[in-house]
Structure formats: C-alpha cells, structure tokens
C-alpha cells in the first residue's frame, strides 16, 4: 500500500513516452474505473463518515483529489483499485496549488457546500481545450441564494439560511456543473428541480451514490427532481460504492483494436455506455463482437472515412474526438470532424500533422484526408485525450515516436504503458524530458 504522495512521486518522474511501430495487437486488456466518476465521488466523500470506492483508478487527477481530501482533514488509504476515506472535514479551503492542476477540483465546491455549508476554492485548472468557465456553477449557487466573495483568485461561498429558488435551468449542458449542483443540494433541505442537466454515465453514477446516502433523485429527460429529507439525515454514514468502468478508456482501446486488433478483447466495459462509439467504429469498418462486460474488436481491412460530430451524452463524446482523428488520419478517403463542445480542442491536429497526417482545421471543423501511412516523430501531448491520440498514432506509424509532456496521459489513464506492453506493444515511459534528448 502506498500513500497518494508516494504514487504521485513515482508518476511525476516520467516526462516522455517512447512508442515503437506495432504490427498488431491481440489478447485481453482490462479497463479501469472511470476517472470522471471517481472525481465527483471523491468530492462526495465529504458528505460521509466513511466511503469505500471500488474499481478506483489510481492516476494523477484522482491522486490530486486524494491529496485535497487529506488537506481537508480526511484519512485516506489507497490500495490497488480501492480507496477508503474516513473521518470529518476539518477545513473548508482547497489550496490553489492543487486545485489549479485539474478541472475536477471544481467539484470540491459542491462537496464542501453539501457537507459543511461553505467552501473556498481557487478557480480550477484542467486541459487547455477551452476557456473552461464555471459561470453555470456560480449561477446555480446564486439561484439557491448562496453568498459569494472573491479574493486573490479564490472563490469563497456560503450556503444560505433560507433557499431563494428551488428551480434552476442550466444555459448549457455541463457535466461538472450538474454534479456540483447535486453535491450542493445535499446541504439544502427539501425539493428542487434542475433542468437541462448532463446525462453522462458518470453523472448518473453520482446520482446512484447520492440515493444510497438518502437523497431522492428522479430523472425525466434532462430534468432532475431532487428531494433532500434533511442534510442531517444524510450525514454520518459509511457507504461502499463501485465505480463504473471508464467508457473513454474503453473507447480508446477499441480504436486501437479497429487499427491493429487481431483480435483485441477489451474487458470490464459497460456496452450501454458506448453506443455512439460502437456504431461509428462499425461504420469505420471495425469488426465488433459485443458481450455483457467485454467487447472483441478486429481491425478493419481499410478504415472507412466518417462524418463525426461531438455532442453531450448520449451523443458521440468530445473525449473520443482526438482518438478518432488519429484513426481517420489513415482512412480510405476524407473525413469531417465537428467539435461542438469545446472551442479549442483540435490542438492534437498539428501534432498528428507532424507525423504526416493531412488535417485542415477551420473553426470547429477539422477535415481529415486519409494518408497511406503515418511516420514516427517527436510530438507533444497538449491535453489528456490528445496524448491518447498520439499514442495510437505512434503505434500505427512507421518508425519510432517520442511523446513529450506525457504527464497529460498519466492524468487520465491508469497503467497505460503496462496495459499496452501486455498487448505486445513496445512503449516505454522515460524520465528524460524530450527537449533534453539528442535528436
């Protein structure tokens, strides 16, 4: 058993990933628990006396969240796949050096408000894929009557004594915005209606957890009807919860299988969370056999071009856009990818072009003209899912690829190097920075 700090020290040593050309992948790969479910559930642990999370992914973002919990006064113990969180909350301030490292830190705003009625959180960080505002989070808090003060990059929020409004409609569909609202409502008694909510499986995993705590939550379309019998009745509980499988990690390996699977079996998946991904992979020519908790994928003879548009769940996920761009770089024809969620989520296009991809970006649309082959190159991971796209590209490319800033990959994928090696890939995490490596 290691502490979060020991895990962080080990993972933060790595700066670069060396990826060698791979002819095919076969065998089994087991997907970890969902990072974007673990993060809201870690924040929700503030509502409990004790929480045990199973199928827990140990990666940079969840380790940062565990560090925050320790600083807030919780005792946290980590073993492979399980995190146990005990004790009470001793302070309400989340230090900026941690919250600036990842977007998920914004969830401690809702967790603290739900648990103790006040919170002091710095503006969150996250991938440079767009402005990443939190205006919707604050608009919801303002609607229930919270009071705010802003000081030195920190937001200080308090729950109201009396609730101002019990109905709120999000202007945009926001995953962590919906999650923060649900966490906050754990601290307010009575009935509330949230409209235009996100329906991602990770949001619904948090809903299941809050119901175990004693909240009533009914979902009709994108409207959540929430009932909190009383904040006191939710408190002091010891809960155990199993995190859902990571659908984006599953999707990433399914794309690998579409490119190189002879065949590849992806295990510990929930096919019900993968509908839009599976239908597009089939259309691209991958051969899929879907079972209850696993999917067998065989490579396409030739990848067929696609027209792809990212949308809120259950639409095609923005977190799979970069991985599909890598795959479509080798398609038999021209594809079109429209990114409707984030305003700056094509930074991987320039990196893929350094490997010989033919991609033209105009605003929110990328046109990808398939090429015969990609060539290994030195590239840089600009964000978490871009790093996954570059790993996929490096595996199918000729020669060797060096991916700098590999911490981006380690933020969101547990044991990726080990999992790929288990499939016969030659990938190596290096402690040396790309810029210090001789050309």
Catalytic residues: 127
Judged on CB neighbours under 10 Å (0-12, 13-18, 19+), 47 is buried
Selected range binding ligand EPZ among 5-13, 128-136, 294-302, 426-434, rule: CB under 6 A: 128-136
Partners of residue 266 on adjacent β-strands: 29, 295
Minimum CB separation from ligand EPZ for residue 7, in Å?
A: 19
* CA-only gyration radius of the chain, Å: 22
Out of 130, 214, 285, 422, name the contact with ligand EPZ by CB under 6 A.
Answer: 130
Residue 200 or 298 having the CB closest to ligand EPZ: 200
- Judged by CB under 6 A, the residue of 6, 80, 91, 133 near ligand EPZ is 133
When binding is defined by CB under 6 A, the residue of 337, 379, 384, 406 that contacts ligand EPZ is 384
Q: Which of 55, 196, 318, 335 touches ligand EPZ (CB under 6 A)?
A: 318
Q: Measuring CA to CA, how many Å separate 207 from each of 37, 204, 413?
A: 11, 5, 24
246 forms part of the interface with ligand EPZ (CB under 6 A): no
137 or 299, CB closer to ligand EPZ? 137
User: CA nearest 124: which of 150, 153, 148, 146?
Assistant: 153
- In whole angstroms, the minimum distance from the beta carbon of 71 to ligand EPZ comes to 19
Interface region with ligand EPZ, contact rule CB under 6 A, candidates 20-28, 126-134, 283-291, 397-405: 126-134
Rounded to a whole number of angstroms, the minimum distance from the CB of residue 35 to ligand EPZ is: 6
In the beta sheet, which residues pair with residue 19?
A: 401, 427
Q: Does the protein bind ligand EPZ through residue 134 (CB under 6 A)?
A: yes
Q: Which of 104, 110, 114, 261 binds ligand EPZ (CB under 6 A)?
A: 104
- Tell me which residues in 3-62 interact with ligand EPZ (CB under 6 A): 36, 39
**Partners of residue 427 on adjacent β-strands:** 19
Are the C-beta atoms of 306 and 366 separated by less than 8 Å? no
Figure out which of the listed residues 174, 228, 335, 401 binds ligand EPZ, where binding follows CB under 6 A: 174
| Region from 48-56, 133-141, 214-222, 351-359 binding ligand EPZ, contact rule CB under 6 A | 133-141
End-to-end Cα distance, the chain: 39
Q: Which of 249, 319, 414, 417 binds ligand EPZ (CB under 6 A)?
A: 319
Q: Does 424 bind ligand EPZ (CB under 6 A)?
A: no
What is the rounded CA–CA span in Å between residue 317 and residue 300?
22
* Measured CA distances, 432 to 16, 63, 278, 420 (Å): 6, 23, 37, 20
d(CA 191, CA 390): 47
Q: Do residues 134 and 103 lie in contact, with contact meaning Cβ atoms separated by under 8 Å?
A: no
Nearest to 256 by CA among 323, 345, 316, 320: 323
Best CA proximity match to 200, nearest among 175, 182, 217: 175
For ligand EPZ, the closer CB: 330 or 349: 349
Residues that bind ligand EPZ (CB under 6 A): 36, 39, 103-104, 127, 130-137, 172, 174-177, 198, 318-319, 341-342, 384-385, 412
């Amino acid at each position: 058993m290691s502490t979060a700090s020991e895990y962080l020290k080990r993972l933060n040593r790595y700066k670069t990933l060396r990826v060698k050309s791979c002819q095919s992948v076969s065998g089994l790969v087991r997907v970890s628990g969902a990072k974007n479910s673990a993060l809201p559930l870690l924040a929700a642990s503030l509502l409990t006396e004790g929480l045990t999370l199973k199928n827990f992914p140990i990666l940079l973002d969840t380790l940062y969240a565990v560090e925050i919990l320790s600083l807030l006064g919780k005792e946290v113990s980590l073993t492979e796949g399980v995190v146990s969180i005990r004790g009470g909350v001793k302070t309400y301030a989340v230090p900026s050096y941690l919250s600036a490292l990842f977007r998920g830190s914004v969830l401690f705003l809702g967790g603290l408000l739900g648990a103790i009625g006040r919170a002091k959180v710095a503006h969150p960080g996250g991938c440079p894929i767009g402005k990443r505002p939190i205006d919707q989070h604050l608009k919801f808090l303002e609607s229930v009557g919270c009071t705010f003060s802003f000081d030195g990059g920190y937001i200080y929020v308090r729950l109201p004594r009396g609730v101002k409004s019990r109905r709120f409609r999000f202007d945009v569909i926001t995953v962590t915005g919906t999650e923060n609202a649900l966490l906050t409502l754990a601290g307010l008694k009575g009935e509330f209606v949230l409209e235009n909510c996100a329906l991602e499986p990770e949001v619904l995993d948090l809903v299941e957890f809050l119901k175990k705590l004693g909240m009533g939550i009914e979902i009709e379309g994108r409207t959540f009807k929430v009932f909190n019998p009383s904040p006191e009745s939710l408190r002091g509980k010891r809960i155990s919860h199993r995190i859902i499988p990571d659908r984006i990690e599953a999707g990433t390996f399914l794309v690998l299988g579409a490119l190189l699977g002879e065949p590849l079996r992806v295990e510990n998946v929930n096919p019900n969370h993968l509908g839009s991904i599976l239908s597009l992979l089939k259309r691209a020519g991958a051969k899929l056999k879907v079972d209850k908790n696993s999917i067998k994928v065989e490579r396409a003879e030739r990848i067929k071009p696609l027209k792809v548009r990212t949308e809120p769940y259950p639409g095609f996920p923005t977190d799979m856009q970069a991985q599909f761009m890598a795959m479509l770089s080798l398609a038999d024809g021209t594809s079109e990818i429209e990114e409707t969620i984030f305003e700056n989520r094509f930074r991987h296009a320039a990196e893929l072009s350094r490997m010989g991809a033919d991609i033209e970006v105009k605003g929110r649309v990328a046109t990808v003209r398939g090429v015969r082959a990609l060539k290994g190159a030195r590239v840089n991971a600009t964000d978490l899912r871009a790093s996954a796209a570059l790993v996929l590209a490096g595996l199918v490319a000729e020669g060797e690829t060096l991916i700098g800033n590999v911490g981006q990959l380690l933020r969101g994928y547990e044991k990726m190097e080990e999992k790929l090696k288990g499939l016969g890939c030659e990938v190596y995490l290096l402690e040396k920075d790309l810029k210090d490596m001789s050309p």
